[in-house]
Amino acid sequence: DGGITQSPKYLFRKEGQNVTLSCEQNLNHDAMYWYRQDPGQGLRLIYYSQIVNDFQKGDIAEGYSVSREKKESFPLTVTSAQKNPTAFYLCASSTIPGQGTKNIQYFGAGTRLSVL
Amino acid sequence: GENVEQHPSTLSVQEGDSAVIKCTYSDSASNYFPWYKQELGKRPQLIIDIRSNVGEKKDQRIAVTLNKTAKHFSLHITETQPEDSAVYFCAASKRGPGGSARQLTFGSGTQLTVLP
């Protein structure tokens, strides 16, 4: 089911704490993405990466950080600077232009983050 | 940047009736328009997509239409069934800077309920 694994499924953050969400894919996709989903607001892009050791900010990158040390992995850290982190976080991956015409994004099952 | 608006936010239909969800986009450079279905607690899954060089595409009970001039596209579901109940998201996509990975901008979602 999907080839994209997110963990944990549920995560709780204390005030002032950084937490890291894991995303691993075995689809051999070059591009990976992180989205935040809030009720009634759809999905908003946090960060994306199209190659190892390179990533770009999306629309709502403040308070988040990422790394891309391996093609298969794209972890997201929610830092203490993110004042409203409670949301459903979705990771996705795709091929990149030149590897197919559509570059369909496939999603993981998500991590639900709550603040204690 | 791109802005995608989606209407209605909720839609209830009787089983067997048709459902139509509409989206508008702002960036004329967007050239790929996928639709995702998200069942409760599950990951978004692509159900149909359309490229900007095509005006209509159909897949069994699902169809998508695109009007590039007016910058709007619509999802049509015929002969609705209870299992069609879910949140549906439209999205608009273009290549990122320098031809990099595609960025998706999502609409806010439509909760479709099919009443038996």
Give pLDDT tens digits for A39-75.
877 899 999 999 999 999 999 999 999 999 999 999 9
Would you call A56 and B96 a contact, using CB atoms and an 8 Å cutoff?
Answer: yes
**Residue A56 to residue A49: CA distance in whole angstroms:** 6
Residue B11 has pLDDT above 90, yes or no: yes
Instruction: Please choose, from the candidates A46, A54, A105, the residue with its C-alpha nearest in 3D space to the C-alpha of residue B92.
Output: A105
Q: What is the pLDDT of residue A115?
A: 87
Q: What is the pLDDT of residue B22?
A: 98
Residue B98 has pLDDT above 70, yes or no: no
Q: Which positions 53-72 of B are in contact with A (Cβ < 8 Å)? A: none
Would you call B99 and A101 a contact, using CB atoms and an 8 Å cutoff?
Answer: no
Closest chain B residue to A90 measured between Cα atoms? B43
Would you call B104 and A105 a contact, using CB atoms and an 8 Å cutoff?
Answer: yes
**What DSSP line would sit under A94-111, residue for residue?**
E--TTS-SS---EE---E
